[in-house]
Structure 1
Amino acid sequence: MSADNAVGNVSVPLRNLLNSIQCMRDRVRDGESNESDGAFDLSNFWHTLNQAVKAVSQEATKLSVAFSKPPLPSQQDGEKLSEWILKSVLSLSTVYYWLPKSQGVSLRRQVRDAIVDVLEGVTQLVGVILSSPLQSLSHEQLTSTGGVWSACDSLSQLPRDNKAALLVVLCAQIGVVKDAIEEIEQALSEVQDPFSDVLDDDQEPRGNQDTYWSEKDRRVIGPCQGLMKASAACLRKLTSAVKTHGDVSTPQNVAQLDDLADITKELSPGVDDLALCLYPPMDYSGVEDNVSKLGALLKKVLEIIRCSHVCGESQLTWVQFLDGAVDHNLQKTKDLLQQDS
């Protein structure tokens, strides 16, 4: 048999494998879980999932090693390798469907996304092998194999319940909001044009006043920063409250944690939108619009916190304080925008 025929024969099971994993990945991405009628054993789910992801990592490694140097595996060996890795990813996908929504939508989303990342990693690995089956271990194949390992490792480190899943969401939001606040503070501290760092070396400094903040602009920024900082404080305080009072023992509490995750995910885009419209030339109508949106969103977040099980008596104090701070900054911004230039 010629080398070309050997390549063609061993490519057939690999192409079939690639198509199967791609279909599986898409089904997991769009699929729904099976609802659990009785008590769900979450610890058993995690044990089984960890075993499944280890199997995927091992089979992906075997596949990569088998195609890392000549001679190529025979068609029969290629079929066996493809069968084993397909079985491992099918098992992983099946375990995902065990996890019911009653354990938390936030948790399911993070598990789903992590499994999709694993399946995408295996897809890329198989694709790389198909594109260069006779070469020695290429940089692309090495990178793809490492990508599968990394995705499998990330899956094994997922939050174990919906409370932990919410804390992951809050941590991400805190980071984005903190960055937006710091960027505005940095720009304000610079005497020069805040966009000067993006000018090309051969460009002359711009004399257009639209590239600088006026005194009124700087006054308007003050209460806008207040709203952004209130968002950051809300996220920090909520994180502490969830750590202390977050509970996943009842469906109602699990659902409340999901509500908190969904609403707080809107905070960082709201803060970003407000921050972007503060840069010169400042569009006052845009500022007013984004201030109103962020203020309304913050008040909605605070109300959902107030009505949830994570809000005890001590939490109610800061919820009320931040609610007042939102009103104060909204009114102050409105008053400043209405003043004559």
Structure 2
Amino acid sequence: MSTSGKSVKEVLQAFIENLDLVIDQLRKGESTRADTGDFQVDKYWTHLGAVVKAVSHECTKLCITFSTPPLPAPEECSGLVSGLERATLALVSAFYSLPTSQGLTLWKSSVDAVCDIIEGVQELVRRIAQAETAGSTDQLQSTGKVWESCNGIKDIPKDNKAAVIAVVTGASNLVKDALEELEAAVENEGRLDDLDLGDDDSDDLEEETWSEADKRTIAPCIGLVKAVKACLKKTSVAVRSNGECVTVAQITELDKLADVMRLTSPAVDDFVSGLYAPLDLEMAKDNARKLADIVLELLELSKTSHVTFDEDVQWITFLKNAVQHNLEKIQNPVNS
């Protein structure tokens, strides 16, 4: 990287802007590498790990140079940035050697990990550029975050099955939190658990709680969310026990499962957040239908994929019935 009369801050800012382009390309692009059948998984991850170490090393050099006065001259800064830029581009190049045929879920997981590293590098360089003095606290913290992201590369999923398991685990945790939130709302008569009602709001307390009719509607709402939680748990077990990512068909089936799994937690969140008092019944019905459609699709995909067998039909049917039963009760509440 030529300084061309640029100041240190200008050199750093130019690199920051280049990283914006790199991150944007990673987020929007796909691998152009054709899977010719010679892809070696172990070799790929070993090489990627080595390149990540190089990025971490170059970041450390940059941090050390800017940690104590005097600050480097533009020429020295340019040399350091050039080394870090080469390492970063090598990381991108290594990542792009992963064919998407290995699984789109694996691809997305890997993109997130690589972008996390590059965004960390960008933040480190930005902190150095903004610092008025050498060795700022922000700079040191940003360096630590880069190290953490680089070390974390060894823990990311290494095949599509592991990537799908990570997706369903994340979705399950979010649905579990939403269910606990809803159960807390039941204890608070439909009010937000952390809602602070002042004296001026005391007269409106009746309006901020569920009516008896609302409470009858909330019971099947809880049942529906519990069915979602059970569905994710059973699907997770099926993927862990029976999931394979050897053939194109198996990889594609896992990707389809992951795509629907990602929809569950946002749908549950929308559903639960719309149940607080005063209850909007029509919105609850609409959100329940959307959520039920997602769960039923996930169950059907599980049934027709390689992760389940004939003996799994029983729990799939049971959960389908549970979803439909609770949906029916939400759509047609009994007034009494």
TM range (shorter): over 0.9
The answer to whether the Cα contact below 8 Å between 1:196 and 1:205 also exists between their aligned partners in 2 is: no
Paired residue for 1:289? 286
1:171 aligns with 2:169: yes
RMSD of Structure 2 on Structure 1 (CA): 2.0
The whole-number CA distance in structure 1 between the counterparts of 2:193 and 2:174 is 24
Letter in 1 for 2:149: A
- Select which of 21, 24, 27 maps to 1:26: 24
Counterpart in the other structure of 1:42: 41
Q: Does 1:137 align with 2:135?
A: yes
The residue identity in structure 2 corresponding to 1:287 is A
TM superposition shift of 1:135: 1.3
- Aligned equivalents of 2:203, 2:178: Cα separation in 1: 25
Instruction: Identify which of 239, 243, 248 aligns with 1:246.
Output: 243
Task: Indicate the SS of the match to 1:211.
Answer: coil
The amino acid across from 1:281 in the alignment is: P
Q: State how far apart, in whole Å, the 2-side matches of 1:20 and 1:295 are.
A: 44
Question: One-letter code of the match for 2:223?
Answer: G
Distance across 1 between alignment mates of 2:10 and 2:154: 32
CA distance in 2: counterparts of 1:196 and 1:170, whole angstroms: 27
TM superposition shift of 1:183: 1.1
- Correspondence list, 1:73-152, <5 A: 73-132=72-131, 135-152=133-150
Cα shift at 1:26: 1.9
After TM superposition, which residue ranges in structure 1, 4 or more long, deviate above 3 angstroms?
A: 7-13, 200-204
SS at match of 1:198: coil
Aligned amino acid, residue 165 of structure 2:
L
Tell me the equivalent position of 2:210.
213
How do 1:294-309 residues align onto structure 2 when only pairs under 5 Å count?
Answer: 294-309=291-306
Gap change, CA 1:126 and 1:215, over 3 Å in 2: same
The aligned counterpart of 1:4 is none
With 327-336 and 84-93 compared, the bigger mean Cα shift is at 327-336
TM-superposed CA distance for 1:222, in Å, is: 1.1
Q: Which moved more, 1:276-285 or 1:59-68?
A: 276-285
* 1:195-274 matches, cutoff 5 A: 195=192, 197-199=194-196, 201=198, 203-274=200-271
- Rounded to whole Å, the distance in 1 between the matches of 2:325 and 2:17 is 57
- Counterpart CA distance in 2 for 1:327 and 1:195 is 28
Mapped to 2, the partners of 1:48 and 1:227 lie a distance apart of 46
Q: Extract unaligned runs of 5+ from structure 1.
A: 1-6
- Maintained 8 Å contact 1:271/1:294: yes
Give 1:50 deviation, angstroms. Answer: 0.4
Equivalent pairs, count: 332
Give the stretch that moved more between structures: 253-262 or 135-144.
Answer: 135-144
Q: 1:12 to 1:201 in 2, by over 3 A?
A: same
CA drift at 1:248: 0.5
1:329 is the counterpart of 2:320? no
Gaps of 5+ in 2: none
Alpha-carbon distance in structure 2 between the residues aligned to 1:153 and 1:228: 36
Change (3 A) 1:305 1:206: farther
Letter in 2 for 1:226: G
Give the C-alpha shift of residue 37 in structure 1. 2.1
Give the whole-Å Cα distance in 2 for the aligned partners of 1:315 and 1:228.
21
Q: Measure how far apart 1:206 and its partner are.
A: 3.7
CA distance in 2 between counterparts of 1:155 and 1:294 reads 34
Aligned to 2:12: 14
Kindly state the Cα deviation for residue 8 of structure 1 after the two structures are TM-superposed.
5.6
